[in-house]
A and B are shown apart, each in its own frame.
Chain A
């Protein structure tokens, strides 16, 4: 342990600004790039649920999909590269 008390730890030998701003940015960087995609995943699934529901209700008028039939009735084989 390099510090004898909490005060010393916060002061970082006079480099509090440098050390804590870098670790703060690191924390923001980690949060944004983990929480961002997780949040987006929930939004995508919610959006797709709504689209599928709309499409099932009125397949002829729905403009959400440019496919001719409703997604429920067609089976698209997963395409390989």
Chain B
């Protein structure tokens, strides 16, 4: 098998150049999906017969919360690649993903709380889904502070990679928490193509736009931070010197 692609992906210079070409397209696609999604969700989605117009929160909460679950699996995979193959770029991903993941998790918790205060009648409840997501928030802050606390960058990289793998296990708990413990947070919804059903296309099509937009946002923010980290780590490389001279 030809492993050139794997080594190419591990090359910071290659990643920097390629991501620079992708970014304008990603940003264009994100802005388009976000505008369609937000306008549709706020203005056109019919109100819920029980929740009224608070169902607008769904279009922020669900994409952000579901994508917040992607961070630890991503960091666990990158951490494993770093531990096994010593790929530098993989460690960069572990480093920049942690604070962004903390933002996603915090927004998922806050938007859920503001939604819950009128629909559930409480800001917070120690239910399986909420508690395990709060644990994820603290684990992500743990990865961030571990990096700052350990001065030895190689040791910090290894410790963060290991903690990311541990955090990956918690994601399984978050995912199945709504099935294992039957408390306030509802299980996953089933969406249908039938227009006469409660969860028909007029509910989930705008959700698809929002999910795509938030996924693109996640990719863009991660790529931008990765590029910054690469510049700092590779500041002695000739290609960075040339790049800075040109800008």
Q: Which residues of A contact B (CB under 8 A)?
A: 1-3, 9, 12-15, 17-19, 21-23, 25-26, 29-30, 32-34, 37-38, 40-41, 44-45, 48-49, 51-52, 65, 67, 71-72, 74-76, 78-81
Contacts and interface: CB of A to CB of B under 8 A. Distances in A.
Given A19-B54, A52-B244, 20 more contacts: A2-B47, A9-B42, A15-B54, A18-B118, A22-B60, A23-B38, A23-B42, A25-B107, A25-B110, A26-B111, A29-B107, A32-B103, A40-B225, A49-B244, A52-B241, A78-B12, A78-B234, A78-B239, A81-B89, A81-B90
Contact of B114 (A12, A18, A79): A18
A67 B236 contact: yes
21 contacts: A13-B52, A13-B53, A14-B52, A18-B54, A18-B115, A19-B53, A19-B56, A22-B61, A22-B110, A33-B217, A34-B224, A41-B224, A41-B231, A45-B231, A49-B244, A52-B245, A74-B236, A74-B238, A76-B237, A78-B11, A81-B88
Given A30-B217, A41-B227, A52-B244, A22 B7 contact: no
Contacts of B228: 37, 40-41, 44
Interface residues of B, number: 55
Nearest to B43: A1
B169 interface: no
Contact of B52 (A15, A29, A45): A15
Given A78-B12, A81-B86, A2 B43 contact: yes
B54 A45 contact: no
A71 B57 CA distance: 52
A3 B236 contact: no
Main DSSP-derived SS at the B contact region: helix
Interface string B85-105: 111111000000000100100
B46 interface: yes
A34 B213 CA distance: 13
B236 A76 contact: yes
Q: Is the interface of A mostly helix, strand, loop or mixed?
A: helix
A10 B236 CA distance: 54
A38 B177 CA distance: 37
B189 interface: no
A78 B13 contact: yes
Contacts of A37: 221, 224-225, 227-228
Contact of A34 (B60, B221, B232): B221
A75 B100 contact: no
